[in-house]
Structures are given as C-alpha cells and as structure tokens.
Structure 1
Amino acid sequence: MKKPYNLPLLPIPFDAETELVFYKKVVKASSKLESLKQKLRYSLVNESFIQLLTLHESVQSTRIEGTQVTFSEMLEDNIDQKQDWEKIEVRNYQSALQKGVESVQMGYPLTERLIRDMHVILMENARGSTNASGEYRKIQNFIGPTKHIKDASYIPPEPQLMGNYMTNLERYINGHPYQKEEEDMLHPLIKAAIVHAQFESIHPFLDGNGRLGRILIVLYLLQSNLIDSPLFFLSEELEKEKFKYYAMLNGVRAIGREKPDWKSWIVFFLDATIRMAEHQYEKLDKAEQLYNVGMKKLNQPSTKKVWGALFARPIATVHQIEKATGLAPATVRKSLTQLVQLNMIFGDDRKRNRRYYQYDLIRIMSE
C-alpha cells in the first residue's frame, strides 16, 4: 500500500558546490530579466505588451493542465465571452493573477489568505472541486495516470498536515516576522523555484494546484523586486517541456531516487528562466518594430491612435476601439478602413460587429 510522502519542511540546505552551480546561472538569468525590465520600461507599447503577456501566460498555464484553447481564441473571447469551460479557466486564471499582482504591488505580503482568495477566483464556475474552493483539502488526493491510488506516481502529505505545511511555506516566502533568518540567504530566483516545487508537492487543494503554483512564481519575483510589473512568466517554457517539468518535480519528491533531487529541478528552472527572458525580450523587440513601422506609414493622429489601441486588442470591434480611444465611431471606422487598405490589419466578412485582426502582432505573441 502506497503511503503519503513525508515532505520535508523548508528551508532546504545546499552545499557550497551546489550553490555555486546555481549562482552561475542566476547571474545570467538576472541579467536577462534586468534587460527585459529596462526595455519594457521605455517601450511605447509596454502597457499593451503586459496585457497580452498576461493573457498568453493564462493560456499556456491552463494548457499544461490539458486544455486546448489557443491565444487567438482567447483574443476572440474578449468579444464573445462564451460559457465554455476551457475559456472560463483561462479567464479565471487571468483574474486570479490580477488579484495577486495588485495585492503584492500594493505592498501586501504573499500569504496563505491571498493564496486561498486566488484559489476561489481560479475555481469559479470551472470544472473540478468548486465546492471546496479556497479551502485546503480534507481528503487524501494523489497524482497519477488513473483514478486509483494504487497507480499513483505521487501521494502528497495527509490532509490534516496542510495547515502546518502552508504556514511553513508562508514563513519561507516572507521570512520570520521577528527575526532575520541567517541560514537562508538564497537568491530570489532560487527561492522562487523552491516555493513553486514545494507548493506543488504539498498539493493543498483538490484542484487548481498547478495553475496556482505557477502564479506564485511571478508573485514571488514581484515581491522580491526582481521584476517591477508582471512582465515575466514561465508557463510557455514549461508547457514546451511539460513531461520534463513533471519529471523534475517528481525528482524533488525522491520518486525513483534515494533522496530528493533539488539540484536538477533548480537548474532546470533557472535554464527555463534564461530562455524565457530572452524569448520575451525578442517578442517585445518585434512588437516595438511593428508599432514603429506602422506609425511611419500613418499621418492622421486618429489613425495612429487606433493603430496603438490594436496593440492591446489585436482582435477588436469598432465598439471596443471606440471605448479604448475615446474617438467617435465614424472616426474609428474611417481609421480602420485606412489600416485595412494599407494591409496593416484585416477585417472579416460580418455585416454587423465586424472584427479586425492585427495578425502580425498575434503571430509575434504566439511564436
């Protein structure tokens, strides 16, 4: 009979040699993140880019959990708002992420209370255990290919231990309220990797643990001032190597090993961070070039304003552009017609509520 894993509490000790391996990668990852942060700070499309990044993250993180919805479909969903469970999960992810980001940016710590509040948002009208949203599980769960515990690849700690584990995680995230903990001087990127893996191993909720755990990565980096806005997300990179991601998390739980393998997981996390920061820098660079090339083609201030609005909504209706710009409907239509004639955007064949598509930007964000 398989038993729940006796998960060690945090912090995790590392020898000097292992920390040196980490820090070589941390230096590179930190440099890449700083470059992305500086480029975004002075970018003309920064607010639009962050909006699209958060939507893209929401799509990628839910895809890791098995949804098939695409980035383009979610851009259309901004217009449709269909009651499709996959799209509801992506919208909920966006809302939970926004809740967390706003709380951290206002100076509130990353606490158990905030985690539970985000879980409520994440599970609203979604599949899974909505009746237990915001509550730590009271029954034993497990991770595996079937619905039988005998086939489980991992059995998290018993439900009565959830409070202890989550209190320990909160203290690890925020530090002891009355004393400086000398023993844990790890860089925030290394701690972000540990926080994510520990949360996934605790598996405190009946559903939504993977998505919530990935939100914790960006919130911890925000709280640590490593980033100053939600400009960096890992889910796209993790989704590309989904089974390696799961295998590395299982290594932390000593599955198939004599002892937990934190080193391989943290190296994997840091390598993914480096690749993702580089990739997002390239996306931002291409988006800026597209914006600037378009601006040079246009003379009318109103058309330039409409062009800029399409960088926040690459699929939009006249009504949406009107709301975003404050321009009159007739002015918006005239500007959109000009952009279509220049092949900068494309309209569909609807007679009413015609949609306009900024395909070049969609491709950049989806690459």
Structure 2
Amino acid sequence: MKKPYPLPLLPHTFDAESELTFYKKVVEASSVLEKLKQKIHYSLISESFLQLLTLHESVQSTRIEGTKVTFSEMLEDEIDQKKDWEKVEVRNYQRALKIGVEIIQTGYPLSERLIRDIHSELMKDTRGSTSAAGEYRTIQNFIGPTKQLKNASYIPPEPQLMGEYMANLERYINGHPYLDEEMDTLHPLIKAAIIHAQFESIHPFLDGNGRLGRILIVLYMLQSNIIDSPFFFLSEELEKEKFKYYIILNGVRALNKDEPDWDSWITFFLNATIRMAERQFNKLEQAERLYKEGLNKLKQPSTEKVWGALFKYPIATVHQIVNDTSLAPVTIRKSLNELVHLKMIYGDDRKRNRRFYHYDLIRIMND
C-alpha cells in the first residue's frame, strides 16, 4: 500500500560544491534578467508588452495543466468573453496573478492568507473543486495517470499536516522574525526554485496547485527584488519541457531514490530562467522594431495612436481602440483602413464589429 511522502520541512542545506555550481548559473541568470529589466524600462511599448506577457503566461500555465486554448484564442476572448471553462481558467489566472502582484507591490508579504486568496480567485466558476476554493485540503490527494491510488506517481503529505507545512513555507519565504537574516545565504533565485518545488510537493489544495505554484515564482521574485515589475514569467519554458519539468520535480521527492535530488531541479530551474529571459528579451526587441518600422510609414498622429493601441490589442475592434485612445470612432476606422491598405494589419469580413488582426505581433509573441 502506497503511503504519503514524509516531506522534509525547509530549509534545505547544500554542500559547497553544489552551491558553487548553482551560483555560476545564478550570475548568468541575474545578468540576463537585468538586461531584460533595462530593456523594459526604456521601451516605448513596455506597458503594452507587459500586458501581452501576462496574458501569454496565463495561457501557458493553464496549458501545462491540460487546456488546449491558445494565445490567439484568448486575444479573441477579450472581445467575446465566452463561458468556456478553459477560457475561464485563463481569465482567472490573469486576475489571480494581478491580485498577487498588486499586494506584493503594495509592500505586503507573500503570506498563507495571500496564497489562499489567490487560490479562491483561480477556482472561480471552474471545473475543479470550487467548494474548497481558498481552503487547504481535508482529504488525501495524489498525483498520477489514473484516479486509482495504486497507480499514483506521488502521494503528498497527509491533510492534517497542511497547516504545519504551509506555516513552514511562509516562514521560509519571509524569514524567521527572531533569527538573523544573514543565516539565510541562498540567492533569491535559488530560493524561488525551492519554494516552487516545496509548494508543489505539499500540494495543499485539491486542485489548482500547479497554476498557483507558478504564480508564486513571480510573486517571490517581485518580493525579493529580482524583478521590479511582472515582466518575467517561466510557464512558457516549463510548458515546452513539460514532461522533463514533472520528472525533475519528482526528483526532489526522493521517489525511487535514496535522497531528494535538489541539485537537478535547481539547475533545471536556473537554466529555464536563463532561456526564458533571453526569449522575452528577443520578443520585446522584435516588437519594438515592428512598432518603429510602422511609425516610419505613418504621417497622421491619430493613425500613429491607433498603431500604438494595436500593440496592446493585437486583435481589436473599433470599440476597444476608442476606450484605449479616446479618439472618435470615425477617426479610428479611417486609421484602421489605412493600416489595412498598407498591409500592416488585416481586417475580417464582418459587416458589424469588424475585427482587425495584428498578425506580425501575434507571431512574435508565439515564437
């Protein structure tokens, strides 16, 4: 009979050789993240780009959990707002992420209460256990390919231990109020990897643990000043290596091993951070180039303004652009027709509420 895993509490200590290996990666990751941060600060389209990144993160994180919805479909959904459960989950993720970011940026710590509040937002009107939204599980759960315990690949700690484990995680995130902070010598990027893995191993909720655990990465990076705005997300890279992600994450649980393999997980996490930061830098660079090349083709300030709005709404209606620019609808239609004529965007065949597609920007975001 398989039993719940006796998950060790944090902190976890590493030998000097492991820490040296990590720090070589940390230096590289910190450098790439700083380069991306500076690029965001001085970009002409940073606000629009951050909005698109947040949506893209929401899509990729929910896709890891098995949804099929795409980034383009969610751009359409910003107009349609359909009650499809997959789209609801993506919208919930966006709102939950926004709530968490605002709380951390206000100066409040990443606490158990905030984690439960974010979970409540994630689970609104979804296919999961909405009755337990925001509440730690009171029954045993497990992870596996079937709904039978005998086939479980991992059985998290017992439900009565959730309070102890989550209190320990909160203390690890924020430091002990009575101990010297200098005792915690690990770099925040390494701690971000540990926090995510420990949360997933605790698996404190009946559903939504994966999505919430990926939100915690962003919030901890914000709290620890690795990033100063939500410009970095890891889910796209994790989705690309989904099965490797799960296998290496399982390694920290000492499954079929003598002891937890934290080294492989932290190395994987840091490598994924480097690749993702480089990818986001390249996306912003391409989007900036597209924006500037477009401006060079335009002469009317109103059309330039509409062109800028399309970097926030790559699939747009006149109504959306009115809300974003305060230009008159007739002016916007004229500008959109000019952009279509220049083949900078494309319009569909609707007679009413025509939609305009900024395909070059969508391609950049999907690359």
Q: Confirm or deny a common fold (TM above 0.5).
A: yes
Q: Give the equivalent residue in structure 2 for 1:25.
A: 25
Partners of 1:107 and 1:331 in 2: how far apart? 42
Partners of 2:124 and 2:183 in 1: how far apart? 40
Q: Give the equivalent residue in structure 1 for 2:154.
A: 154
Q: What amino acid does structure 2 have at the position aligned with 1:346?
A: Y
For 1:251-294, what per-residue CA distance to the aligned partner results, in whole angstroms no more than 9, with x for missing partners?
00001211000000000000000000000000000000000000
Q: Give the equivalent residue in structure 2 for 1:63.
A: 63
Aligned pairs for 1:39-78 (under 5 A) are 39-78=39-78
Q: What amino acid does structure 1 have at the position aligned with 2:163?
A: G
Partners of 2:148 and 2:137 in 1: how far apart? 18
Partners of 1:115 and 1:294 in 2: how far apart? 43
Q: What amino acid does structure 2 have at the position aligned with 1:261?
A: D
Q: What amino acid does structure 2 have at the position aligned with 1:191?
A: K
Q: Give the equivalent residue in structure 2 for 1:208.
A: 208
Q: What amino acid does structure 2 have at the position aligned with 1:53?
A: L
Q: Give the equivalent residue in structure 2 for 1:9.
A: 9
Q: Percent identity?
A: 77
Q: Give the equivalent residue in structure 2 for 1:137.
A: 137
Partners of 1:183 and 1:205 in 2: how far apart? 31
Q: How large is the RMSD of aligned CA atoms in angstroms?
A: 0.6
Task: Tell me the SS of whatever aligns to 1:99.
Answer: helix
Q: What amino acid does structure 2 have at the position aligned with 1:147?
A: K
For 1:286-338, what per-residue CA distance to the aligned partner results, in whole angstroms no more than 9, with x for missing partners?
00000000001001000000000000000010010011000001011011010
1:110 has 2:110 as partner: yes
Q: What amino acid does structure 1 have at the position aligned with 2:7?
A: L
Q: What amino acid does structure 1 have at the position aligned with 2:351?
A: K
Partners of 2:92 and 2:345 in 1: how far apart? 29
For 1:160-217, what per-residue CA distance to the aligned partner results, in whole angstroms no more than 9, with x for missing partners?
0000000000010001123324432100100000000000000000000000000000
Task: Tell me the SS of whatever aligns to 1:263.
Answer: helix
Partners of 1:57 and 1:181 in 2: how far apart? 32
Q: Give the equivalent residue in structure 2 for 1:86.
A: 86
Partners of 1:309 and 1:109 in 2: how far apart? 34
Per the normalisation by structure 2, the TM-score is 0.99
Q: What amino acid does structure 2 have at the position aligned with 1:207?
A: D
Q: What amino acid does structure 1 have at the position aligned with 2:54?
A: T
For 1:47-103, what per-residue CA distance to the aligned partner results, in whole angstroms no more than 9, with x for missing partners?
000000000000000000000000000000000000000000000000000000000
Partners of 1:103 and 1:230 in 2: how far apart? 12
For structure 2, the 5+ residue unaligned runs are none
Q: What amino acid does structure 1 have at the position aligned with 2:197?
A: A
For 1:234-255, what per-residue CA distance to the aligned partner results, in whole angstroms no more than 9, with x for missing partners?
0000001101000011100001
Per the normalisation by structure 1, the TM-score is 0.99
Task: Tell me the SS of whatever aligns to 2:183.
Answer: coil
Task: Tell me the SS of whatever aligns to 1:116.
Answer: helix
Partners of 1:192 and 1:360 in 2: how far apart? 34
Q: What amino acid does structure 2 have at the position aligned with 1:57?
A: E
Q: Give the equivalent residue in structure 1 for 2:218.
A: 218
Aligned length, in residue pairs: 367
Partners of 1:313 and 1:38 in 2: how far apart? 24
For structure 1, the 5+ residue unaligned runs are none
Aligned pairs for 1:244-323 (under 5 A) are 244-323=244-323
Partners of 2:289 and 2:234 in 1: how far apart? 24
Partners of 2:251 and 2:143 in 1: how far apart? 14
Partners of 1:339 and 1:266 in 2: how far apart? 47
